Amino acid sequence: MKRIAVLTSGGDAPGMNAAVRAVVRCGSAYGLEVIGIRRGYAGLLEREFVSLGPRSVANVLHRGGTLLGTARCEEMKTPEGLRRGADSLEEASLDGLVAIGGDGTFRGAQALAELTHVHVVGIPGTIDNDVYGTDFTIGFDTAVNTGLDAIDRIRDTAEAHQRLFFVEVMGRTRGFIALDVGLAGGAEEVLVPEVRTDIDALCASIRTQFEAGKRASIIVVAEGDDAGRAFEIAERVGTKLEMDYRVCVIGHVQRGGAPTARDRLLASKLGSGAVRALVEGRTGVMVGELAGKVAETPFELTWSQQKELDMDMFHLMRTLAR
């Protein structure tokens, strides 16, 4: 292993820069040449390569976004796109590739590992935390803390006006962000795709809570909830209860900002683990963290297996909201 590349792909996540920095500096410590690929797989297809030395990743540890840029690349889902990606890797005389992203990124990574002689490993980077094989993905902790900050602020104004608020957080198909934001923020209810939303039961619960003396109610909604987006749910509930309500969509605010210490530490640990995996000859695996330890999981399991939402915490949220 002499020459490796690193790319970030899919939705950016705070801490991706810390992971790139760790790959570059650990690679350098092993005596490897490290190449950055701009704009994820889109940049791989266009051969957008840049040489990265330890100094190129100075002053990025605390920055959100990704210094390499990222993209959602539809072409990499086609056989022709994969062939072009494989050719780009081979022609650049690379021995290894570190792909940072979510399960979509790992599907591309697995295909490249099969089509080339290049060893490919992944690092889980997405705010959604929806990747099997790691307890946490890079960016999740920051996104939860950003959502929590918003909830704390909304709580002030909600209490002042005795209002019902619906706060939508990111989470396209999973409720990890919503559950943690809701539990940590003392939400009155959390709506997640994993649990069917019953509008009548939700209305009854809100009414009971106000009757019991609550002065405000905050309902955290994952954007992928089965009952729809926050505006839709709010309108149904507000109409049924004949209550004034407000909706706040936090959206992409959660994707930006300085990564928390936890995300920087995780990114540094996994960046180092990914380079070690390459140097020791492994390929086709995601390097994650399970029970505090670096753990490697075959790419295929990261999308074929589902990480479960902690239902004990879900029930605890409801208990604590009474």
Question: Could you list the active site residues?
Answer: 128
What's the alpha-carbon Rg for the chain, to the nearest Å? 21
State the minimum distance, in angstroms, from the CB of residue 68 to ligand F6P. 16
For ligand F6P, the closer of residues 7 and 277 by Cβ is: 7
For ligand F6P, the closer of residues 34 and 130 by Cβ is: 130
d(CA 17, CA 201) in angstroms, rounded, equals 43
State the minimum distance, in angstroms, from the CB of residue 59 to ligand F6P. 25
Q: Is 322 exposed, middle or buried (0-12, 13-18, 19+ CB in 10 A)?
A: exposed
Residue entry with tokens 């619960």: 205
Query: For the CA atoms of 264, 259, 286, 22, what is the dihedral angle to 10 degrees?
Result: -40
Q: Which two tokens stand for residue 3?
A: 């020459």
State the minimum distance, in angstroms, from the CB of residue 171 to ligand F6P. 5
Residue entry with tokens 């753990």: 295
Alpha helices in the chain (DSSP H): 16-29, 40-45, 79-91, 103-115, 140-161, 176-185, 199-211, 230-241, 261-279, 299-304, 311-320
CB-nearest residue to ligand F6P: 11
Q: Which helix (H) or strand (E) holds 168?
A: strand 164-169
For ligand F6P, the closer of residues 96 and 101 by Cβ is: 101
φ, ψ (nearest 5 deg) of residue 300: -55, -35
State the minimum distance, in angstroms, from the CB of residue 131 to ligand F6P. 11
Q: Which two tokens stand for residue 188?
A: 């009155």
For ligand F6P, the closer of residues 210 and 303 by Cβ is: 303
d(CA 23, CA 149) in angstroms, rounded, equals 31
- Edge-first strand order for the sheet with 96-101 is 49-52, 33-37, 3-8, 96-101, 119-124, 285-290, 293-298
State the minimum distance, in angstroms, from the CB of residue 276 to ligand F6P. 27
State the minimum distance, in angstroms, from the CB of residue 210 to ligand F6P. 31
For ligand F6P, the closer of residues 173 and 304 by Cβ is: 173
**Would you say 186 and 239 are in contact if contact means Cβ atoms under 8 Å apart?**
no
For ligand F6P, the closer of residues 72 and 163 by Cβ is: 72
Residues that bind ligand F6P (CB under 6 A): 10-11, 72, 126-128, 170-172, 223, 255
d(CA 83, CA 140) in angstroms, rounded, equals 32
